[in-house]
């Protein structure tokens, strides 16, 4: 079975032979050789490029806590307190039951539809691996069941769906179309994505030595960008 034959008619996969820019911390223009741009769902896509919409699918954005307090039953709790990803100050979403997974998919699916309405070509769902930071409250099986719902929502909106995190998992088995690999050079795990997605992988590095390694080993195959960790418009932008 050829996976591409199952894709929605209007869905477009990542273009090849071009570079990527990762602009979650603020938008900026890009040089002509950059054909793929990733931006937050609250930002506008860049006309004339392949636009990927960032959506935090498995955790909350720090500035959206007021929204999630209204949906507190969908936030994962441990002894009554939200479980937090300490690195980013984000609450984990509670995907333990089918009912909660469906409710969350409706919310996040509306965001994905908003990306499509704004003109994006694809959506990147962040934090597939959040179950590993859940104090053992969430399981891999639960996370993947929820991920499959999000992929379906993306495809229903004619968006390609991107796997973010959980290196080594073959996301194509639940319908993901491409992957976003942050620091795969640093952790020497780029092949954990390319083994399943081939050239449909976006590589983002934050340390120059890792960027050089990734360019040397994957620069001919993948779009690779070096960014500052805060992803600021005026920050580092370098390509292989």
pLDDT tens digits along 158-200: 999 999 999 999 999 999 999 999 999 999 999 999 999 999 9
Q: Minimal CA–CA distance to 40: which of 57, 28, 23?
A: 23
101-143 pLDDT per residue, tens? 999 999 999 999 999 999 999 999 999 999 999 999 999 999 9
Q: Half-sphere exposure (CA, 13 Å, Cβ side) for 237?
A: 21
In this prediction, residue 87 carries a pLDDT of 86
Q: Which CATH number fits domain 3-239: 1.10.1060, 1.10.3470, 3.60.15, 3.20.20?
A: 3.20.20
Centroid of chain to Cα 137? 23
Please tell me the pTM assigned to this model: 0.94
Average pLDDT over every residue of 58-83: 95
pLDDT at 81 over 90: yes
Q: How many residues make up the chain in this entry?
A: 240
In this prediction, residue 26 carries a pLDDT of 96
**Between 208-218 and 190-197, two packed helices, what is the crossing angle to 10 degrees?**
40
In this prediction, residue 88 carries a pLDDT of 87
């Amino acid at each position: 079975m050829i996976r591409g034959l199952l894709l929605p008619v209007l869905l477009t996969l990542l273009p090849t032979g071009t570079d990527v820019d990762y602009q979650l911390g603020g938008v900026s223009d890009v040089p002509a050789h950059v054909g793929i741009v990733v931006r937050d769902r609250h930002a506008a896509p860049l006309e004339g490029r392949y636009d990927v919409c960032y959506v935090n699918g498995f955790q909350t954005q720090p500035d959206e806590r007021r929204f999630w307090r209204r949906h507190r039953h969908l936030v994962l709790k441990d002894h009554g307190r939200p479980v937090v990803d300490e690195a980013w100050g984000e609450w984990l979403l509670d995907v333990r039951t089918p009912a909660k997974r469906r409710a969350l998919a409706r919310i996040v699916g509306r965001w994905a539809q908003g990306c499509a309405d704004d003109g994006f070509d694809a959506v990147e769902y962040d934090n597939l691996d959040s179950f590993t930071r859940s104090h053992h409250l969430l399981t891999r099986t639960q996370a993947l069941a929820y991920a499959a719902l999000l992929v379906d929502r993306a495809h229903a909106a004619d968006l390609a769906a991107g796997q973010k995190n959980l290196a080594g998992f073959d996301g194509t088995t639940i319908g993901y179309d491409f992957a976003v690999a942050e620091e795969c050079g640093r952790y020497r795990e780029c092949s954990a994505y390319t083994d399943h997605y081939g050239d449909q992988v976006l590589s983002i590095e934050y340390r120059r030595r890792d960027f050089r390694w990734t360019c040397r080993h994957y620069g001919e195959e993948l779009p690779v960008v070096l960014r500052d960790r805060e992803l600021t418009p005026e920050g580092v932008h370098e390509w292989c």
